[in-house]
Amino acid sequence: MKPTQSTLNPTLKMKSTKGSIRKDLVAYLIISPWLIGFLGLVIGPMIASLYFSFTNYDMLSPASWVGLENYKNVLVNDPRFVQSLKVTLIFVFVSTPLKLVFALLLAMLFNTGRKGTGLFTTIYYIPSIIGGSVAIAVVWRQLFGREGAINSLFASVGLDGLNWLGDPTYALTILIILVVWQFGSPLIIFLAGLRQIPLELYEAASVDGASSLTRFFRITLPMLTPVIFFNLIMQTIGAFMTFTQAFLITKGGPMDATNFYAVYLYETAFEYLRMGYASAMAWILLVIIGVITLILFATSKYWVHYEGGNK
C-alpha cells in the first residue's frame, strides 16, 4: 500500500527537522571554542569591569559601592589622566596617518609586479608580526639608548648624541617611529585592494593622456577609499590600545611624556591596586574610541566611494 500524502508529509517534515537540528548542533559545536572564549574572556570581564567601575576595589578586600565617584575623579580631579589622554591622542593622530601613507606607498610599489615582490612583501610584513613583542621593544631601546647604536653613529661623524628616550622632546617621536615602522598589516590589505582595481580604467586613462599623478588621484585613490576607511578604523583603534612599546621602552616617562592611556590604566590597576578606578578609566576609553569611530563612520559618506553608490 502506497503512503498517502497525509502520512508522507509528516514523515518528511520530521526528517527535515532532525536534519536541521543536527546541522545546528554541528555548527554550534564548531564555534563553541570561540563562543566559550568570547563569553568567558570578553563579555564576562567587561561586565565585571563595569560593576567594579562603580566600586572602590583593590583586589585584596571586598568591593564597596561608590557610585559615579570614580568617573568624577578621573574626569575632574586627575591631571595624569588628562596628560595620558593628550599623549595618546597625539600618538593616534600622528602615527595612524603616517602608517597608512607608508603602507600605501609600499603597496603601490609592490603592485608593479616586479620580480621578488612576494619576498619583499613578506619581509615588510614581518615587523607587524613581531613588532609588539618584548624582543623588538628591547632592541629599539638599545638602538636609541644613551650608549646605543644611533648615538654611536653620531659620534663616528663627530656629532654629540642625544638622550632620545630620556628627553620629553624626543621620546614620543621615537615611539611613533617604531609603530609607523610596523605597517605590514595595512600594506597587505592595500595590496589586495590595489589588485581589485580593473586595469581597463588605467588603460582608458592612458589613452586619454592622463599622467601618473592624475591616474592616482582620479582612479587609484577613489577606488581604494573603502580599503583606506577599513585600515583607518582598525589602525586608529589599535593605536588607542598601544601599550607594549611605551611600557617596555620608556615606562611612560620621561615626565609622563609617553604615558599612554593604556600604560596609565595598567599602572593604576596593577601597581596601585585601584581596580575600580582603572575600570572606570577603561570604560571612558571605550566611550572615546566609540565616539571617534562613529565620527569616522559619519564622515565616510563624503569621501568613501563604494561600487554601486555609498551605503
Give pLDDT, residue 148: 83
Which residue, 200, 137, 210, is CA-closest to 174?
A: 137
Q: How many CA atoms lie within 13 A of 10 on its CB side?
A: 4
**Per the structure block, which three cell numbers stand in for 232?**
583607518
Return the residue matching grid coordinates 582595481: 197
Helix (H), strand (E) at residue 302 = helix 275-303
| Count of helices and strands (H, E) across the chain | 15, 2
The residues, ordered by sequence, that sit 6+ positions from 87 with a Cβ below 8 Å of its Cβ are: 172, 256, 257, 258, 259, 260, 261
CB-based contact 109:194 (threshold 8 Å): no
SS3 (DSSP) at 163: coil
* Residues β-bridged to residue 64: 56
Q: What is the pLDDT of residue 309?
A: 63
Q: Are 219 and 201 in contact (CB under 8 A)?
A: yes
The amino acid occupying position 244 is T
Q: Is 64 helix (H, G, I), strand (E, B) or coil?
A: strand
End-to-end alpha-carbon separation of the chain, Å? 59
Local structure of residue 133 (DSSP, 8 states): S
Cell of 262: 593604556
Each of the 311 residues of the chain gets a pLDDT tens digit; together they read 455 555 556 666 676 777 778 888 888 889 899 999 999 999 999 999 999 999 999 888 899 999 999 999 999 999 999 999 999 999 999 999 999 999 999 888 888 877 777 777 777 676 666 655 677 788 888 888 888 888 888 888 888 888 888 888 889 998 998 888 878 788 889 989 999 899 899 889 989 888 889 999 999 999 999 999 999 999 999 999 988 888 888 888 888 899 999 999 999 999 999 999 999 999 999 999 999 999 999 999 888 888 766 55
Q: Are 246 and 260 in contact (CB under 8 A)?
A: yes
CA 47/CA 64 separation, integer angstroms: 17
Helical pair 275-303 and 44-52, crossing angle rounded to 10 deg: 120
pTM for the complete prediction? 0.83
Contacts of 75 (CB under 8 A, 6+ apart): 81, 284
What pLDDT does residue 8 have?
53
Q: How many CB atoms lie within 10 A of CB 305?
A: 15
